[in-house]
Amino acid sequence: MKFITEFRRSELAEGLISQIHRQSKTSVKFMEFCGGHTVTIFRYGIRQVLPSTIEMVSGPGCPICVTANADLDKAITLAQIPDVIITTFGDMLKVPGSHSSLQKVKADGADVRIVYSTMDALKIAERNPTKSVVFLGIGFETTAPTIAASILQAEKKISNYYVLSLHKLCPPVLRAILDSGEVKLDGLICPGHVSAIIGSHPWEFIARDYGIPCVVSGFEPLDILQGVDMLVAQIENGESKVEIAYRRGVRPEGNQQALKLMEQVFEPCPAQWRGIGEVLNSGLKLREEYQHFDAELAFDIDPGPTYEPKGCVCGDILRGVKTPIDCRLFGKLCTPGHPVGPCMVSSEGSCSAHYLYGGGFEG
Amino acid sequence: MKDKILLAHGSGGKQAHELVEKSFLKAFANPFLAKLDDSAVFDLSGRLAFTTDSYVVSPIFFPGGDIGKLAVCGTVNDLAMSGAKPLYLSLSFIIEEGLPQGELNEIVDSAQKAAQEAGVKIVTGDTKVVHQGSADKLFINTAGVGIIPEGVDISGGNARPGDKVILSGAIGDHGIAVLSQREGLSFSTQLKSDCAPLDSLVAEMLKASPNIHCLRDPTRGGLATSLNELAKQSKVSIRIEEEKLPVREEVLAACEMLGFDPLYVANEGKLVAIVPAEGADKVLKAMRGNHYGKGAAIIGEVGAEHPGRVVMKTCLGTSRIIDMLVGDLLPRIC
Amino acid sequence: MCLAIPALIKSIEGKEAEVEIGGITRRISLWLTPEAKVGDYALVHTGYAINVLDQEEAEETLRLLEEIAGMAEEEG
């Protein structure tokens, strides 16, 4: 058991597909919250094998895409401060802010380094004691505990390490989307790796208060198909509950140690989501005891007024109200080579997935 | 203290001459170069293939090779992809001051070894030394000429519907081997770059069947980019099957970790051939008989519909479009 | 979102572990999974184990999927 190829077996996929076809009677709209799910769905052409009764819409589960321009501008401004080394996950490099991107300021001489892990960022801080090393804290509940751990590792040892905390929390934004009433959902595929940390309980309000069936899924093609199959079963049985399809990776109670570290270092705060606006308690800021790691407090950042690209409907796409093909810029003015909005930049953005993997293409 | 390359080594004066004699003449020893004239003079007849390329790989030493071997193999392969027998190469070294003399020697030796294997001579070259920070240790610029045998007509525009697509072996080795050495990403692997001269492989393929339509080495941008180029140049579609693609376990694992698709990862010792269906098995057999084509496989075929489009049949039996690589391949977390 | 992959824990040293993922090895942090043991498969995200994978559950899921595939075959 290596936990990867076992979950790509085509004969098992065929079984699930035919069971879904047999059981799905009601026309439904399911949202895959998570961009990772969107990528698997497109990469394996899963929409092509689902019955016409099932419509899949992508949700706001791409941390890069939902980062507001004002926050991107802060990161880009930080990068331009002398003697600052920006360390970041590769995803952030190309995302356009109001006026520039990390990639562009890097070309102008800013020291921007791509890392795989905060462990690597800490090493860079240790090796460059005369510089300030800022880590761009992007990501949901999956990533936030790893940033918290990096701060605890740096505490009392590394004094030139800072974090720009742009973390976002998933359950509050889902509530905001559902409350807006703009999209009517019949089922939700919940993010597997966020749930590895927070467990399945935090999704229960969706099943209980909104009557929407939820299934926590993994990221292999069989995981997604199993998630869809379980949603269909709930729909046809008239149920709405939270189930875990990804049982090898997710426990109902989540990862208590990760949650403890996250809570020790961060506290909830309001956060700006692109296309959605400010959502209460959906962000994370450093607690007072750890404020000396806060890049926003350590540096004087004034990125000035923000600017939103004209005609870009990323915001509507993130709320599941529009699809990329509804956007006038899609595939014409906005391509992965010349992205206008973040959903085209991030490899798990809905627009990028549609563009690269030929959304709706029937081969 | 170890010897280092200094600005004086690029001055054209005494130290420059010493460097040429000690490092280059000795290693590349051949009568053309030994004359030390301003240009190499030689006779050639027939249809010529002529190519140029620059090498800026970082780090300059990587598992399975270095920038010297890469420069020679890359240039040889560009010639071979036209069906040419590679003959003569030029090598220009742009050196950042401070490069240890020992490292330069090692790179020159490995360039010579690759040249010897490919049966090419390095007949001319140049050295410049630039200030710290003006280059990243060492850049190499090359040119190469070769002769195309009679009856061979290979071009990216020659693919025809019904042709078979053959890949010479597992993809992604070079890109992942180089990446494993980068700051901030470090992981260890036994994986080596596939960097190799492919002239002998091409010669054997042509012997098996001179009627090869297209050849391309999927370097930067990976297999996906090469296939897109071929589909566009030939105004055809190409359909490949995911299950037939050879990919090493280590490459798959690194790709899973960093969020890459092996289709976009660079190769330096692989080629993709498009050949008429009737000759495909013969070519495939010849490839498998060569050291650098042991893992060859037919991975798909050429179609007429949707000219310019590359489509892959996934392991679920569905289809997806394969586009060119856009921008840089960046590791991602989400 | 949140790319995470299964990795086999080969050795543990304090809060760090050497893991193997299909022939490549890397050091990861066990800050979030103190319960991890040598021989476990951990789910690794950005160099941190975010959970220890449950082998029995994985096998159970595959058994279930095989059953579904078997049923499909009988009916098909």
CA distance, residue C5 to nearest chain B CA (Å) = 6
pLDDT score, position C1:
46
Asked if residue A361 has pLDDT above 70, the reply is no
DSSP code of residue B21: I
Question: So what's the pLDDT on residue A339?
Answer: 86
Residue type, B159: A
- Listed by number, the residues of chain B in 236-265 with a beta carbon closer than 8 Å to a beta carbon of chain A are 256-259
Q: How close C70 gets to chain A, by Cα (Å)?
A: 7
**CA distances (Å), C32 to each of A121, A142, A148, B232, C21, in order?**
18, 11, 10, 49, 19
Are the beta carbons of C71 and A140 separated by less than 8 Å?
no
Q: Dmax over Cα atoms in chain B, in whole Å?
A: 67
Is residue A135 situated within a structural domain? yes
Choose the closest CB to B326 out of A42, A62, A336. A336
Across the interface, whether the CB atoms of A363 and B183 are under 8 A apart is answered: no
pLDDT over 70 at A362, yes or no: no
The pLDDT mean for chain A works out to: 93
The whole domain housing C62 covers 5-75
- Whether chain C has a CB inside 8 Å of the CB on A257: the answer is yes
- Residue A13 distance to chain B (closest CA, Å): 7
Nearest to C69 among A12, A22, A194 (CB): A12
**Does any domain span residue A5?**
no
Is B193:B178 a contact under the CB 8 Å cutoff? yes
Contact A45 B316 (CB under 8 A): yes
Per the CATH hierarchy, to which homologous superfamily does domain B164-321 belong?
PurM-like C-terminal domain (3.90.650.10)
Q: What percent of chain A has pLDDT over 90?
A: 77
Q: Peptide bond preceding B331: is omega within 30 degrees of 0, i.e. cis?
A: no
End-to-end CA distance of chain A: 33
Beta-ladder partners of C41: C8
Q: For every residue of A51-112, which 3-state class applies, written as one string?
A: CCCEEEEEEEECHHHHECHHHHHHHHHHHCCCCEEEEECHHHCCCCCCCCCHHHHHHCCCEE
- At B94, is the secondary structure helix, strand, or coil? strand
Q: Across residues A49-65, what is the average pLDDT?
A: 93
Structure tokens at C53: 């994978």
d(CA A252, CA A255): 9
ipTM above 0.90, yes or no: yes
Interchain proximity C23–B333, CB inside 8 Å? no
Per CB distance under 8 Å, which residues of C are interface residues toward A? 1-6, 8, 22, 27-29, 31-35, 41, 43, 45-48, 50-51, 53-55, 57-62, 65-66, 68-73, 75-76
> Rounded to whole angstroms, what are the CA distances from B98 to A159, B24, B60, B182?
32, 18, 14, 21
Mean pLDDT value of segment A42-47: 92
Q: How many domains does chain C have?
A: 1
Contact B184 A120 (CB under 8 A): yes
Instruction: Report the 10 Å Cβ neighbour count for B257.
Output: 24
Per-position DSSP letters for B62-87, written without gaps between them? ETTEEHHHHHHHHHHHHHHTTT-EEE
Q: What pLDDT is attached to residue B241? A: 97
Residue type, position A204, single letter: E
Interface of A with C in 36-95 (CB under 8 A): 36, 61-63, 89
- What is the spatial distance between Cα A317 and Cα A346, in angstroms, rounded to a whole number? 14
pLDDT tens string A66-118: 999 999 999 999 999 999 999 999 889 988 899 999 999 999 999 999 999 99
List the CATH number of the domain containing C53. 2.30.30.140
Which of A93-97, A117-121, A259-263 has the largest mean confidence? A259-263
Question: Domain B7-148, what architecture?
Answer: 2-Layer Sandwich (3.30)
Mean pLDDT, residues A151-168 taken together: 96
> How many contacts, defined by CB atoms under 8 Å, are there between B and C?
47
Res C76: pLDDT:
56
Q: Do C1 and A245 touch (CB under 8 A)?
A: no
As a whole number of angstroms, the distance between CA A27 and CA A24 comes to 8
pLDDT at C75 (0 to 100): 67
The closest CB to that of B316, out of A10, A90, A346, belongs to: A10
Beta-strand pair C48-52/C41-45? antiparallel
Alpha helix (H) ranges present in A108-255?
A: 118-127, 144-154, 170-180, 192-198, 204-210, 221-236
Nearest by CB to C26, from B187, B191, B256: name it. Answer: B187
Give the sign of the dihedral formed by CA B79, CA B80, CA B85, CA B90: positive
- Is C23 close to B190, i.e. CB distance below 8 A? yes
What does the block give as tokens for B113? Answer: 């070894």
Q: What is the pLDDT of residues C10-49, one digit of tens each?
A: 999 999 999 999 989 999 999 999 999 999 999 999 999 9
Count the residues in chain C. 76
**Residue B303 is encoded by which pair of tokens?**
């179609």
**Mean pLDDT, residues C50-73 taken together:** 93
So what's the pLDDT on residue B185? 72
Burial label, A326 (beta-carbon count in 10 A; 0-12, 13-18, 19+): exposed
For residue A55, give the CATH number of its domain: 3.40.50.11740
pLDDT at A134: 98
**What range does the domain containing A232 cover?**
21-363
Cβ-nearest to A139 among B258, B311, B334: B334
Cβ distance of B187 and C24 shorter than 8 Å: yes
Of residues A291 and C71, the one with the higher pLDDT is A291
C-contacting residues in A 145-164 (Cβ below 8 Å): 145-146, 149, 152-153
Please indicate whether, in this complex, the C-beta atoms of A42 and B320 are within 8 angstroms of each other. Answer: yes
List b or e across A60-87, with b for residues whose CB sees 16 or more CB atoms inside 10 angstroms: bbbbbbbbbbebbbbbbbbbeeeebbbb
* Average pLDDT per block of 10 residues along chain B, 334 residues long: 84 86 89 89 94 96 96 98 97 96 96 97 95 96 97 96 98 94 79 97 97 97 97 98 95 90 96 97 98 98 96 92 82 75
Q: A63: distance to nearest CA of chain B, Å?
A: 8
Residue A96 lies in a domain: yes
Query: Tokens at residue C1, please?
Result: 């979102």
pLDDT of A360 strictly over 50: no
- Longest Cα–Cα distance in chain A: 65
Delimit the domains of chain B by residue range.
Answer: 7-148, 164-321
Cβ(B248)–Cβ(B173) below 8 Å:
yes
Alpha carbons B79 and A150: distance in angstroms, whole number: 50
CA A275 to CA B158: how far, in whole Å?
48
For A122-137, how does the pLDDT look when each residue is reduced to its tens digit (9 = 90+)? Answer: 999 999 999 999 999 9
Instruction: Give the pLDDT of residue A358.
Output: 66
- What predicted TM-score, i.e. pTM, was given to this entire model? 0.92
Of A19-28, A315-324, A349-358, which range is least confident?
A349-358
Tell me if A49 and B311 make a contact (CB, 8 A cut-off): no
Contact B263, B322 (CB under 8 A): yes
